[in-house]
Amino acid sequence: MELTNETAAQLVNEAIPTLHDEPEEPKEGRGIVMSAGGVKYQINAWVCIRMLRRLGCELPIQCWFLGDTERNRAWEQVVAPYGVECVDAYEVRKRHSHARLHGWESKPYAIQHSPFAEVLFLDADNVPVRDPTFLFETPEYQETGTIFWPDFGRLGPERLAWRVFGEIPYRDEPEVESGQIVVDKRRCWKALELCHWYMQNSNNFYFFHVHGDKEVFHLAWRKLEQPYAMPQRGIDALPGVMCQHDFEGNRIFQHRNMRKWTFYENPQTNGFLYENECPEYINELKHLWSPAADEPATPDDAAALSRLDGKMFEYHRVGYDHRTVCLRRDGIFAEGAATCEYYWTIRDGVMIVADEKGTRTMELRSAKHGIWEGQWLDHEKMPVLLVP
C-alpha cells in the first residue's frame, strides 16, 4: 500500500505490532552520543567535547558519522584521548538495516544502536554549561525514562501530522527541540523503533509534515503513549543560540543551531556563557588538526607549516584568474579564502588545499624560487601556482 495522507495512519497501526519491545543486542551503562560527521560538525563537536570534560563530565562519548565522505581519521586521533569513540553508521547498517540514513535520520539511529542503555544525545553544535550527568538522576527522568526540551512552536490542531503519524489525539503542548535528549532505551525501545519506521519514510513523506527529526521523536512517543518529562522553562533566545534549562530553571545547554563555530569568524554573542573559553578550544584544534588532511602532521610537516606562516602569495589558476592569498600556520587563509580554497596544510612535503567541507581541491609541490606548483584535482583540473 502506498504511503499517502489517507493511508498513513493505517500503515502506522499495522507496523506497530511488528516492532521490537527490547533490543536484540545487550545495552549497558550510560553515555553521550553525537552526530558529528564532516568538518563543520567536527569543529563544533570538539568544542562540545572539551567543554564536557572541562565541566567534569566523565561519561563515555560516541561521535557517529556517515561513511568515508564524513570521516577524518586525524580528527579521530585528536579526540580519542578525551574518551571519544567514532562510529561509522554505514558500517552499523550492515547489521541493522535502514532504508534511508542521512543527517536527521542518523540521530535516532545513533541513539538506538549505540551500546549504552541510557543516552544523552547532544547535537554537535551544543555547548553545555554544567556537567549534565545529573540529569539521569532527576526524579522526572527516573519516573518517565525520557527528557525532551521545548522548541519555540506548537503543532496546531489543524496540522496533518497528528493524523499521518497514526491518528494521534491533539495536544496543546510545545514541539520538541532535539538538540539534546535523555532517554532510557530499556523503557523506550519500542518508541525508538517507531522513530526508525517513520525515518525510513522521512524524505518522501514524513518530512513534508514536520521539520526534521525533532517532531518524529515527539509524535512517536505520543503515538505509543510513552511518557516523557520536559522542563517548564522555555528557551532563552540569544542571537543564533537556543539556551535550555534543567528542571530547576537553570541554564544547562546552549545550542548554537544558527551560529555554529568555525575556523574563521565567531562573532561575540551577548549573554553566551564561556564566551572566551570556546574560541580558545578552536584555536587549540587548529594547531592539532587540519580539515584538509586525513592523517596527523609529522615534525617535518609542522616545521614547513611554521615557515609558511604569514607568507603572501599570488595564487594563479593558470589561464583563468589570479588573486593574493596569505597562509596562516593554523591551516586557514588569513587573506584570499574562497569556497574552494578554504583550508590548507602540509603533509609529507605536499601542500594540500581543501574546500569548506574539507574535500581536497588541489595539491602543490615546492619548486624553484619559493614557488609552489600543482593542479586542481577536480572540475577543470587546471594548473595552479603560488608565487611569492
- Give the model confidence (pLDDT) of 12-35 as tens digits: 999 999 999 999 889 999 999 999
pLDDT of residue 379: 79
Q: Which long-range contacts (CB under 8 A, 24 or more apart) does 236-245 make?
A: 236/271, 237/152, 238/269, 238/270, 238/271, 238/272, 239/269, 239/270, 240/269, 241/269, 241/272, 242/177, 242/179, 243/271, 244/149, 244/177, 244/179, 244/180
Regions of the chain where pLDDT drops below 50 = none
| Alpha carbons 207 and 133: distance in angstroms, whole number | 32
For the record, the C-alpha cell of 120 comes out as 544523552
pLDDT of residue 378: 86
By CB atoms closer than 10 A (0-12, 13-18, 19+), residue 259 is: middle
Query: pTM for this structure?
Result: 0.95
For the record, the C-alpha cell of 268 comes out as 561575540
Secondary structure (3-state) at 82: helix
Q: For helices 185-199 and 8-15, give the axis angle rounded to 10 degrees.
A: 140
| Cα-Cα end-to-end distance for the chain | 66
**Where do the domains of the chain lie, and which CATH numbers do they carry?**
8-252 (3.90.550.10), 292-387 (2.40.128)
Quick one: CA dihedral 210, 245, 32, 38, positive or negative?
positive
For the record, the C-alpha cell of 130 comes out as 554544567
Quick one: CA dihedral 163, 166, 168, 174, positive or negative?
negative
pLDDT of residue 86: 98
Dihedral-angle region of residue 358 (phi above 0 means left; psi in -120 to 50 means alpha; beta otherwise): left
For the record, the C-alpha cell of 152 comes out as 519555540
Do the Cβ atoms of 193 and 20 come closer than 8 Å?
Answer: yes
> Quick count: other Cβ atoms within 10 Å of Cβ 148?
23
Q: For helices 39-54 and 277-288, give the axis angle rounded to 10 degrees.
A: 120
| Residue 154: partners with Cβ closer than 8 Å, 6 or more residues away | 172, 173, 174, 175
pLDDT of residue 265: 86
pLDDT of residue 143: 98
Which backbone phi and psi does 355 adopt, to 5 degrees? Answer: -85, -175
Quick one: CA dihedral 166, 171, 172, 173, positive or negative?
negative
